[in-house]
Structure 1
Amino acid sequence: MSAIRLEQLAQAEKTAFVFPGQGSQKVGMLADLAEQFSEIKNTFAEASDAVGFDLWHIAQSGKGLNQTQNTQPVLLTASIALWRLWVSLGGVAPKFLAGHSLGEYSALVAGQALTLTDAVKLVHLRGQLMQSAVPEGQGAMAAILGLTDSQIITLCEQVSQANAGSVDAANYNTKGQVVIAGATQAVNDVMALAKEQGGKAIPLPVSVPSHCALMKPAAEQFAQALEQTAIELPQIPVLHNVNAAIATSITELRSSLTAQLYQSVQWTNTIQSLQDQGIVYLAECGPGTVLSNMAKRLPGIEKTFSLDTQSRIEDALQAILVAEGENV
């Protein structure tokens, strides 16, 4: 599987692949595809050997699936299993790759910057470090809807300065939807203020507050593991979460992955950057439809595709070939 040669694939010019992060996992993911295609279980077996425990069992049974240190390797493996299936079925090579939070690692594996073995070890460690950085119950995340980015930033600053604890804008997902993260009381305070200003606030069922200042200790430890991991510049350009840009050196790439732990996910800017580069089709390579549903609201995206069932992946294979036309 690791011998996939991207240069042999037809090259798309208007299509990007995006890879989901935590929250897209579900019990029984990819089970139907695994019955039809050996790529699914083979990929899970390879990743399970790397981390030393059965990722497929966790994915299918749900036991421990929502524990961050398990969620991350399972989701990455599921995304790469779908990517490998896409390639084996004759899918095109997208012009760009991007991943939301954890999904950035899936994008880097697909682009052959990281091996699956190294990546699954990294994200397992990443999950462990994130979990240990903030004691259970002391951190939280919430989605704020209906306010501007600047309004939410101001609320986070006000609450943080009031000594309620640290809270930051963690994910800029799309216009009018920002996820905040930080100390539990601080997150609750921002939620209350957001509602007073006419917004909606939805607490998220997560075990750690990602992409906020509370993750800096985890980032410092994680940087050491990144330095010891073989990384190359990807063969398909990958846009990074922290700046919606493409790294031009290995040092910059490692720095972006380290900063991603405690800085905001610039997903709105990432999708805008893709559109600025002529992307009009997005394929979500992972379980669920979170990213494709968000992209459907954007006027510049003509079509989104999900790849987590046989019928969806077959539809995407045909539709993208037709849409790309002479480019492939």
Structure 2
Amino acid sequence: MSITIITQGKDLTPWVNALKERRPELDLRIYPEGTHREDVEFALAWNHPLGAFKEYPNLRCISSMGAGVDHILKDPELPEAAIITRITDPNLAKDMAEFTVALVMNHVRGLSSYKIAEQRQSWEPKRYLRTEDVTIGVMGVGVLGTYVARHLNEIGFKVNGWARTAKEIEHVEVYVGQDGLDAFLAASDILICLLPLTKETANILNKDTFRKLPEGAFVINVARGEHLVEQDLIGMIDEGHLAGASLDVFREEPLPKNHPFWEHPKINITPHIASITNPATAVSQILDNYDRLKKDEPLTGTVSLTKGY
């Protein structure tokens, strides 16, 4: 049984090396190279060319190279028989939590404003917020969101979560569904988006959502760029209702050089680096599912096509 890697614009050297180191005899192919595509039953994919999967008539599993699967599910020609899986490497959750804490503390301590003052050689001490005085709302408390919520709570923040269905997280109150959304937003001094991208969550970070946040709230998006209505964010910051935002994901990546986010003094930009899959650790799960597929055993990290995650 062969594996093919299907992606665009990604350096595959670390992935190939990690897979070959663990399984030297693996029949590994790189799209679009290779013949006898009927032998390929397992695909490892990220941002693939739409329609590429249909070129493999016997594809049984499509594994995302990361935690997200929206890049796979947007393909209108997905093989009906293929199981979709995603990476659930615990390092991804740890990395996301550490990065999110850094963004939160940057805002709470006002560090970005000091960088601007530094460039002017201006000494401008300011009051800062304390952890016990700030309530953080985490939109989406799946594997990553739950880990982030717990981590923020452990360092002293009051943390709430919002989810589609009821969940129990120690020391974190979880608001549920549309009925709980308004109360969740009204209590969020800092709003962190960690939602999966689905039809229901696309464009959820919009003007209506922002208006329900307390005045002076701060927005962090580390999920997907399509969650955010960009002009609504700029408008609400310029209006003074929002204090600012930290964004790690965008509708178009790399962010175009003429995009207004670059020049906005209250928007912090990072290049989608919050949590990056490490091939050296991720290949264990990939090869485990590869072996399970050969034995017709249940796979791990499977994705519901109806839920989108």
Query: Common fold, TM-score beyond 0.5?
Result: no
> Higher helix share goes to which structure?
1
Task: Provide the TM-score with structure 2 as the length reference.
Answer: 0.26
Task: Provide the TM-score with structure 1 as the length reference.
Answer: 0.25
